[in-house]
C-alpha cells in the first residue's frame, strides 16, 4: 500500500515535472514497470547494447519458423562511457528473450530453434543448433497479457555474443491453425521484445521488425516450386519415335 502511494506520488511528479520514468530512476531501474516486460528492471535500450531484429522465416522439421537475430550494437547508447560511470546494464550478460504476445494466441508456438547452422564453442559456451520446448505463458493480469519466452540454452556472457559479428539466430515455430505472426505479436509490422540478464534487473526492450521480412536468396537445398510454363521454343524438336533414345549412326 505504501509503495502504491509512493508510486502515485511519483506519477504525480512525472506529470508536474514532465520528466520520464527513467530520469526518476536512481539505480538504473525503471520505477514504473507496469506494462511489458512486466518486471521491475531497467528496460531502457539506451542502457544496453543488446538488440533483436527480424530475419527471414525458415522451413525446418516440416514447420515454418519465425526468426530473429540477437546482436550487440552500442551505437547511440550510454555504454561508451567508461566502466563505473556507464549504466550497469551495459555490462549485463544474456539470459532470456521474451516477446509481448496476444494471450488468445496461446499454443501458436511450442518450440524454439536456437543457433541454426552453428556448431562451435566460445569461451566454454556451446553455440550449437538446438531445438528447445517452450510455451506461451498467459500471465495472471488484468488486462490479459502473455509472453513468448526462451531462456534455457540462451544464457551467455556478452563477450560470447560479441564474437559473432552477424549476431546469432533464434527462431520459433508457428503451428498451423493458430495465430498468424501479426496476430501473435499484435502488430502488423513489429514484435515487442525484452532481453533479460540472469539477475533479471536488466530487460532492454524494443521493437523488432519488419515482421515478415522478404526471403533472402538461399542455396537450392529445398525442392523448388513448380516452374512457370516456358515460353514457346523457337525451334521445337520434331516429334520422332526415336525421341529420348540413342539414334543409330
Q: Which of 108, 104, 78 is nearest to 90 (CA)?
A: 78
**Beta strands of 123-239 (E only): which ranges?**
125-133, 136-139, 145-150, 168-174, 191-196, 205-208
**Among residues 3, 5, 27, 76, the one that binds ligand NAG under rule CB under 6 A:** 76
Stretch binding ligand NAG (CB under 6 A), from 6-14, 70-78, 113-121, 130-138: 70-78
Q: Is 75 in the site for ligand NAG (CB under 6 A)?
A: yes
**CA Rg value for the chain:** 25
SS3 content of the chain, % helix, strand, coil (to 5): 15, 30, 50
- Cell 551467455, located at residue: 156
Residue nearer to ligand NAG on the CB measure, 76 or 241: 76
Q: Is 73 in the site for ligand NAG (CB under 6 A)?
A: yes
User: Coil, strand, or helix at residue 162?
Assistant: helix
Site string for ligand NAG, 26-65 (x = CB under 6 A): ----------------------------------------
Total residues at the site for ligand NAG (CB under 6 A)? 3
Q: Is 179 left (phi over 0), alpha (psi -120 to 50) or beta?
A: beta
Distance between CA 31 and CA 15 in Å, rounded?
A: 14
Q: Is 241 in the site for ligand NAG (CB under 6 A)?
A: no
User: Coil, strand, or helix at residue 73?
Assistant: coil
Residue nearer to ligand NAG on the CB measure, 25 or 73: 73
Site string for ligand NAG, 107-146 (x = CB under 6 A): ----------------------------------------
Binding site for ligand NAG (CB under 6 A): 73, 75-76
Amino acid at each position: 500500500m505504501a509503495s502504491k502511494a509512493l508510486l502515485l506520488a511519483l506519477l504525480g511528479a512525472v506529470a508536474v515535472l514532465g520528466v520520464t520514468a527513467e530520469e526518476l530512476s536512481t539505480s538504473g531501474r525503471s520505477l514504473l514497470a507496469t506494462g511489458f516486460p512486466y518486471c521491475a528492471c531497467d528496460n531502457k535500450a539506451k542502457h544496453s547494447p543488446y538488440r533483436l531484429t527480424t530475419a527471414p522465416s525458415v522451413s525446418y522439421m516440416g514447420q515454418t519458423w519465425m526468426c530473429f537475430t540477437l546482436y550487440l550494437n552500442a551505437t547511440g547508447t550510454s555504454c561508451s562511457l567508461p566502466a563505473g560511470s556507464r549504466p550497469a546494464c551495459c555490462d549485463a550478460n544474456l539470459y532470456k528473450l521474451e516477446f509481448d504476445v496476444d494471450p488468445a494466441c496461446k499454443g501458436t508456438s511450442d518450440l524454439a530453434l536456437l543457433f541454426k547452422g552453428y556448431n562451435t564453442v566460445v569461451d566454454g559456451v556451446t553455440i550449437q543448433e538446438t531445438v528447445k520446448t517452450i510455451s506461451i505463458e498467459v500471465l495472471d493480469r488484468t488486462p490479459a497479457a502473455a509472453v513468448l519466452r526462451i531462456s534455457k540454452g540462451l544464457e551467455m556472457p556478452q563477450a560470447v555474443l560479441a564474437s559473432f559479428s552477424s549476431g546469432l539466430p533464434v527462431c520459433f515455430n508457428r503451428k498451423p491453425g493458430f495465430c498468424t505472426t501479426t496476430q501473435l505479436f499484435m502488430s502488423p509490422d513489429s514484435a515487442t521484445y525484452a532481453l533479460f540478464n540472469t539477475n533479471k534487473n536488466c530487460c532492454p526492450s524494443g521493437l523488432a521488425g519488419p515482421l515478415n521480412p522478404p526471403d533472402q536468396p538461399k542455396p537450392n537445398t529445398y525442392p523448388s516450386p513448380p516452374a512457370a510454363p516456358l515460353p514457346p521454343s523457337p525451334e521445337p524438336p520434331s516429334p520422332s519415335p526415336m525421341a529420348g533414345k540413342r539414334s543409330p549412326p
